[in-house]
Amino acid sequence: MQNIEKMTEGRVILGPGTLYGAINALVLKGWIIAISTEKDSRKKEYKITEAGRSAFLREIERLNELLRNSEKAQGGTET
């Protein structure tokens, strides 16, 4: 939660319910999996799956398309 707040310079502040709900949704979709850690049994770590990586790359392309369309709408140049 602190990393998200820091990365977004305070624009996004996640509560525990929001974060854990999002993590649960990603697990249910098969986009991440829990991995075992021996360090601290209370701390869970997750790893992205191939399906998750594919979904992530599709989302990047979708956001890039939105950016390109926004630039076109503002009279900018195509990238």
Q: How many helices (H) and strands (E) does the chain have?
A: 3, 2
Q: Are 12 and 4 in contact (CB under 8 A)?
A: yes
Q: Summarize the chain as % helix, strand, coil (round to 5).
A: 55, 10, 35
- Report the distance separating Cα 56 and Cα 58, nearest Å: 5
Share of the chain above pLDDT 70, in %: 91
**pTM listed for this prediction:** 0.73
Residue 78 has pLDDT above 80, yes or no: no
Contact in structure between 57 and 66 (CB atoms under 8 Å): no
The string of pLDDT tens digits covering residues 25-45 is 999 999 999 998 777 667 889
What are the residue ranges spanned by the domains of the chain?
1-48, 50-79
Which pLDDT belongs to residue 40?
Answer: 65
Read off the pLDDT of each residue in 56-69 and give the average, rounded to a whole number.
97
